[in-house]
Amino acid sequence: MTGDLHLALIGKHLGHSYSKNYFQQKFAGEGMSASTYDLVELADLRGLRDMVDAEGLDGFNVTIPYKEAIIPLLDRLEPTAAAIGAVNTVRVLRRRCRNGEASLSGHRPTTLVGHNTDGPALLDTLRPLLKPHHREALILGTGGASKAAGWALSRLGIRHLFVSRQPDGKRDAISYAMAYHLAATHLLIVNATPVGMFPNADDTPWQHPELLGSRHLCFDLVYNPSPTLFLRQSAQQGATAVDGLAMLHRQADLAFELWIGGEASQLRQ
């Protein structure tokens, strides 16, 4: 894909997002000043494909709460997204046919391809922060972001459990009460929930900071505000506290590479 792009972020509430500013700066640096990146708040995903076509999107990012819900609406998943079970980046491929051939043949003129750049971005961001004692982890949350975190930790050789307010029936999930008991041995804690995100900056997913210490690495996927209450309290206990801004930038860069270097946006037959 070459030339200027029309991109977007879709989600339910996007007031916290830094993505638009980041991509605008990226476009300027790449000499793509006519490219756009819009924030599109959707109450649900009905009419998604119509919106993509009406807006002429070349691709889009996906955030809370649609990273898993969008999968049935896509035409295919690339292997990383399929392995994770969540999507945060979509490429839009368009088929040009003459004389209505697309509709007559049953092929959709627009193909939506799901990717996940969250997992690789977290892997790249976490790797230089890890110490030999970070062998076991707790992932707070069981949604799409937590699945990407689990994928990354598996590839880093770190055993992990998911922590949920309602763990019953969820694979490898434990309660927060159990997580507090395991805090002494699980020295990497990743917050993959939106708890503590702007505008709810007074919230924290971890209610017992006194259980943390200098050997803990606390990583919060939330980047607005920075630091979150979770990270402030962790740092006060001596833990290494890292926000999600570097991960945000990395996943955005990986998504951008897909949009400009992936399959051609125009498929001809």
Instruction: Give the orientation angle of helix 245-261 with respect to helix 19-29, to 10 degrees.
Output: 50
pLDDT value of position 99: 52
Q: Listing from the earlier edge strand, what are the strands of the sheet with 136-140?
A: 173-174, 159-163, 136-140, 188-191, 217-220, 240-242
CATH 3.20.20.70 fits 6-117+248-268, yes or no: no
pLDDT value of position 264: 35
Assigned fold of 120-245: Rossmann fold (3.40.50)
3-state secondary structure of 174: strand
Whole-number Å distance between alpha carbons of 40 and 65:
13
The 10s digit of each residue's pLDDT in 122-139 is 999 999 999 999 999 999
pLDDT value of position 68: 98
Closest CA to 53 of 24, 88, 18, 93: 93
Looking up tokens 């006194």 gives 210
Active site residue 170: no
- Domain borders along the chain are 6-117+248-268, 120-245
Which residue in the list 12, 20, 26, 67 is annotated as catalytic? 67
pLDDT value of position 65: 95
Whether the domain at 6-117+248-268 and the domain at 120-245 fall into the same CATH topology = yes
pTM of the model as a whole: 0.90
pLDDT value of position 266: 35
pLDDT value of position 169: 82
pLDDT value of position 268: 27
The 10s digit of each residue's pLDDT in 228-239 is 999 999 999 999
Sequence-ordered list of residues with C-beta below 8 angstroms from that of 107, at least 6 positions apart, any chain: 95, 97
Residues of the chain with pLDDT under 50: 1, 100, 102-106, 263-269
